[in-house]
Structure 1
Amino acid sequence: MPSDKDYKSTKKIKQNISNIKEEFEPLAQWIDEKYGVKTLNLIFDYMDNAKSHPRLQVCLEYAMDKGKFMDNATYNFDETKQNEIAEKFAEVTSDYELKIKQNWIKKIFGLTYKSTNLFVYFTDFESIAKIEANEKISEKEIRKLQAKINNKELWTISRAFSGVTYFLYTDEQLKKYQDSETHKKWKNHYYKLLKEYDEFDYFKNDYFYFELDSKENFDKNYESNWYYYYK
């Protein structure tokens, strides 16, 4: 989520405020060249702070890049690619530690990277940046937008993650507006507002989540509960 420290540190790299760790630069370049992707950050830590369970987060820029590391048959990470990157990680960090061996200050304060039993996993920056942009739209702006629309059949505008849903009151009204010119106009209104907060230009008008639904469906099938609806 946008509040996560890993996202915040990666955002600074994307904004050119900071850089990926020096020792990870060769690995990021290797990943990009081998798999045809854009790696923004590499983050090494331990699962549950257990030294026996090291892990490496490969933070890619785009959601489509993350898809290149998924196994379409199992919907898990591609084990072959995980192993390839783990092996390269061991090579790169070993070279780095040999390089700094003579620098006792770096040796004392530097991190010794454990590559045995390394778990490699993949995330993408784009998806979280889209959530952040959507969350930056204030409730005041949403109320102003609904007032501007000024349609008595529109119950509420509900945002979640990187998308938005406009709720009509009844299923019959939903059918009336679905795929209508009004539907397209509402989508364009929201897109224009969303782009004001789209710092990295990730949202495209034809490819963002904009849906219509009804209060009738919300009440009847989700017990009027937002948690159940978005679960």
Structure 2
Amino acid sequence: MKRYALVTGASGGIGEEISRKLAKEGWSLYLQYYQGREKIERLQQELEETGAEVIAIQADLTSSAGAHFLSSQLFSLEAAVFAGGTAHYSLFQEIEEEEMDKLWQLHVKSPMMIIQKAIPKLRKAVSPSVVLVSSIWGQTGAACEVAYSTVKGAQIAFVKALAKELAPSSIRVNAIAPGAVNTPMMAQFSPEEKAEIAADIPMGRLGAAREIAEAVYFVSSPAASYITGQVLAVNGGWYT
């Protein structure tokens, strides 16, 4: 019997590796993306060549309309992984209200809307799971990323509350909190700045997207059947 997983932000560095890992483990996939059509087409071809069933869905999750549309495209569902998102770097007093709204919609409201609509489908699954890819900044906060830290912290609060509500239905809800991961989101930092960040991490390096994917797979798998409402930090010992 096919198991279907949704991966949002599948055209991003972490979402792409999560998709590869789940496909390798035999999952059929809904891959949500917004602007990365070429990347998704390449990824879809790559995964289909390994025998995976892949359904690509374009949806703008910075709007409620996009969240409603994505929800309407999901039929069978056993796992939902929310890996999409963008960071925002600025002093707090300089961030525009429109940017605050976009961050809230993308990271918090759209996932909430999609999960709400998906609960009846998840209840029918054998081992249903929801995973939100949050951030180390949702746990500790970061100057010049106040709004981003806020929405990532909201994701963690949502996971902890929803896990309690859905536990009687055997739907597990967890979060992964990556530290600094070497993905295109880090492209705005110079090599020297990346080296400074790496030097501040006890393991002495940035994380790899595949390491986040392995953590997502673990909390989605039967090996984590008694784990819910948890935040798994994958950060090389940074800010522990």
Shorter-chain TM-score bucket reads: under 0.3
Q: Which has the larger radius of gyration?
A: 1
Question: Which protein, 1 or 2, shows the higher relative CO under an 8 Å CA cutoff with sep ≥ 6?
Answer: 2
With normalisation by structure 2, the TM-score equals: 0.27
With normalisation by structure 1, the TM-score equals: 0.28
